[in-house]
Amino acid sequence: MLKKGFWIGVGLFILYAVGIWWYLFYASPQEIPNAIRGSVADPNTFMTNQEIELSYEYSRLKHFFFFIITPFEWILYAVIIIFPLSKTFKQWANEITKFKFFQVMIYVFAFSFTLFVTMLPLKWFSYQISISYGVSVTPFSVWMRDNITSFLLNYIMLVAIALWLNWIMNRSPNKWWIYSWFLSIPFTFSVIFIQPVLIDPLYNDFSTLQNKELESEILSLAQEANIPAEHVYEVKMSAKTNSLNAYVNGIGPNTRIVLWDTTLAKLNKGSILFIMAHEMAHYVYKHVLLGVSLSILFSFIGFWIVGKIVKGIKERFEESLHINGNNLLVLPIVLMIFSILIFISSPISNYVSREMERAADSYAIELTEDKDAAISAFQQLTTSGLSEVQPPTLVYWFRYRHPSMLERIGKLSYMSEEKSFTNQK
């Protein structure tokens, strides 16, 4: 019964993939509203015809891979759970050692390595697309190193999760999910606290901003926003990408103001200050804490749903899935359900994120009083990343944590025209 359901799922996945391809490349042509044509929000005014064509092709291919990779991962989980590789991994671990701790480490390694190796070709194709369109310039060795780093970090985290689940499910078979939710709260805050100083440097090289005059101006903005920062950090991203970015992350003394070196190279000072003011707005409005709080709230619902589903699966399929009395084999099921829930709920989280980004845009405009610099920044961000100014609706719901560039530039254009009209009066 489970294997039959699996093959039905594979068939539905193929139909889904074909449907997504049709939707992106045939049912959603790139069209600019007539009201925007000729304005600063119209890509024809700041991008060449070739850049517009490349942005369309590149964006649609990246969107396609996004919509395909996550459901494909669900199929891998199902293969591991149903066929059953999970039981085989556990048997290997039991044969190698009698120590429970090392059995967990071996099982998780076999499980996570299988996922890693199977997903790698898809990630490689996505990487090659970015290379071929000139958005990424990451050497293969660096790309592979970053993937291995991510694998090792995920492996450490999964070992901790597996040890916890194996222990808590034995002691509280019905309430394990709520204890797990409680434990996730301090874990979430600790990751945000340590990420700027421990995790981010594993992937990129950071240094204090070399342009001290610019650093002084950025820190002046930070002082107005009451951000406890003594330095602005520059991260060397030009060896990996042509895209632009900047951000403020961390909590308290670990707060970091960061600029990509590509942003420094391609934007003028006014645009850089606007972008930094935008990022600082997230700190001023406590968007990080708000986002974490909402994440904790929704994760409670997620843990409750996972608890109910896992209980139902164990009651109905415990024997056929070989998970009777072996809570370690529940790990792939828990991860698969969470992955599905996160994907399904992404339109909600993206909507909340877009509202935060709109508030940050307004704050930055008020603080810098330089709409031209803002318009220029958004145009450069679009061009350098070959982004679509107006994505398809489905893409906007599931992928866009920021308003579309058409919205952002269009709003600034309207404000500029309104100001010009007021001055004429």
Q: Dump pLDDT digits (tens) for 344-366.
A: 999 999 999 999 999 999 999 99
Exactly one of 200, 261, 279, 370 is catalytic; which is it?
A: 279
State mean pLDDT over 319-346: 89
State mean pLDDT over 73-91: 92
> Taking 50 as the threshold, does the pLDDT of residue 250 lie above it?
yes
Round to whole Å and give the CA distance between 118 and 153. Answer: 18
Residue 119 identity: M
Give strand ranges (E) for 28-117. none
- At residue 14, φ and ψ (nearest 5 deg) are -65, -45
Domain ranges within the chain, ordered by starting residue: 175-425
Q: Return the structure tokens found at 391.
A: 């994505």
> If you count DSSP H runs as helices and E runs as strands, how many of each does the chain have, helices first?
14, 4
Query: Which of 72-86, 176-190, 219-233, 371-385 is predicted with the least confidence, judged by mean pLDDT?
Result: 219-233
Distances (CA, A) of 234 to 2, 41, 64, 128, 411: 52, 29, 32, 27, 30
Q: What's the mean pLDDT when you consider all of the chain? A: 90
Interstrand relation of 246-249 and 232-235 (parallel, antiparallel or unpaired): unpaired
Per the annotation, binding residues for Zn(2+) are 278, 282, 357
Exactly one of 361, 370, 388, 407 is catalytic; which is it?
A: 361
Contact 180, 165 (CB under 8 A): yes
Query: Which of 82-91, 125-134, 182-191, 249-258 is predicted with the least confidence, judged by mean pLDDT?
Result: 249-258
User: DSSP H helical segments within 172-286, as ranges?
Assistant: 176-194, 212-224, 261-266, 269-284
The answer to whether residue 319 is catalytic is no
Q: How confident is the model at residue 34 (pLDDT cuts 50, 70, 90)?
A: confident
The answer to whether residue 279 is catalytic is yes
- At residue 24, φ and ψ (nearest 5 deg) are -75, -40
pLDDT on residue 249: 79
Per the annotation, binding residues are 278, 282, 357
pTM: 0.90
Q: pLDDT tens digits for 291-328?
A: 889 999 999 999 999 999 999 988 888 888 878 777 88
Rg of the chain over all Cα atoms, to the nearest angstrom: 24
State mean pLDDT over 142-155: 96
Round to whole Å and give the CA distance between 251 and 367. Answer: 23
pLDDT on residue 162: 94
